[in-house]
Amino acid sequence: MNLDAKLSLQRNERGGLDLLIHPVYREMMTPAYVTDEEAEKLSTGELSALDKVVEVNGIKKEVVIEFDQDTQEFVITDTERILAPDLVNNEKLTPEQKQRFKKGKEVELQDGTKFRFSATASEGMRSNRLHLIASLIVDGGLSYVLYKGLKAMSKKEPKVSEDYSRGYYHALEDMKVRQVKDRMKGQNVNSR
């Protein structure tokens, strides 16, 4: 018996990776809390993502709902599990921008760069630019994530700019300087 499936990796609570298998459905199976109209808009790409409060086992949760064209599946992500970056291309995100990101909505930077969270994109993000640098403040330090080969925001905007923004270059330079400082710090500790 053959089964068409899409594979993905997801980080677990222990920091390891879990292999997830997503069967490819012949027909889309709409969750009970998604209306026919919402399902139609998601499946045709008219709507990229839907932010909704749903009740699961008697507990209300805010979720982002997307439609995966490859598997004909609705992908539901609890917004509590979405980690919004603190900076993108060296521009600090406002609390409002972070909220928009966690709800799967488009965030726009001053230089015109647009991006949004996407569980259906292997990178976890879609953008109008091919490359982004997102930064997170973790344990008082700054961690960088370099995104390459990002997919378009939606079917309405199929083009992705290959141009780098000025903020991208600044973030790249900051990332390189921090790596050199971290290496030097590690060498000083080892030489004692």
- Using only C-alpha atoms, what is the Rg of the chain? 19
Kindly write down the DSSP assignment for every residue of 126-150, as one continuous string. Answer: EESBS-EEEEEEETTEEEEEEE-SP
Element (H, E) at 36: helix 36-44
The residue segments making up the domain with residue 24 are: 5-80
Q: Examine the domain organization and report whether 67 and 126 are in the same domain.
A: no
Q: What is the pLDDT of residues 109-133, one digit of tens each?
A: 999 999 999 998 888 899 999 889 8
Which of 23, 57, 80 corresponds to the end of one domain?
A: 80
39 φψ region: left (φ > 0), alpha (ψ -120 to 50), beta (else) = alpha
The reported pLDDT for the residue numbered 6 is 64
- The answer to whether residue 191 sits within a structural domain is no
Residues 76 and 94 in one domain: no
CA angle 10, 174, 101 (to 5 degrees): 45
pLDDT of residue 175: 83
Q: Per the domain annotation, does 73 fall within a domain?
A: yes
Residue 176 and residue 93 share a domain: yes
pTM of the model: 0.76
pLDDT tens digits for range 98-108: 999 999 999 99
Q: Which pLDDT score is estimated for 89?
A: 93
pLDDT given for residue 15 in this prediction: 73
Point out the domain boundary residue: 35, 64, 80: 80
Q: Residue 62 belongs to what H/E stretch?
A: strand 59-68
Q: Is residue 47 part of a domain?
A: yes
Residues 53 and 92 in one domain: no
Q: Do both 38 and 104 map to the same domain?
A: no
What pLDDT, on the 0 to 100 scale, is given for residue 35? 94
- Give the chain's domain count: 2
In this prediction, residue 2 carries a pLDDT of: 65
Residue 192 lies in a domain: no
Contact at 8 Å (CB) between 156 and 80?
Answer: no
Please tell me the predicted confidence (pLDDT) of residue 144. 78
Residue 162 lies inside a defined structural domain of this protein:
yes
**97 and 181 fall within a common domain:** yes
Query: 91 and 180 share a domain?
Result: yes
Q: Which residues of the chain have pLDDT under 50?
A: none
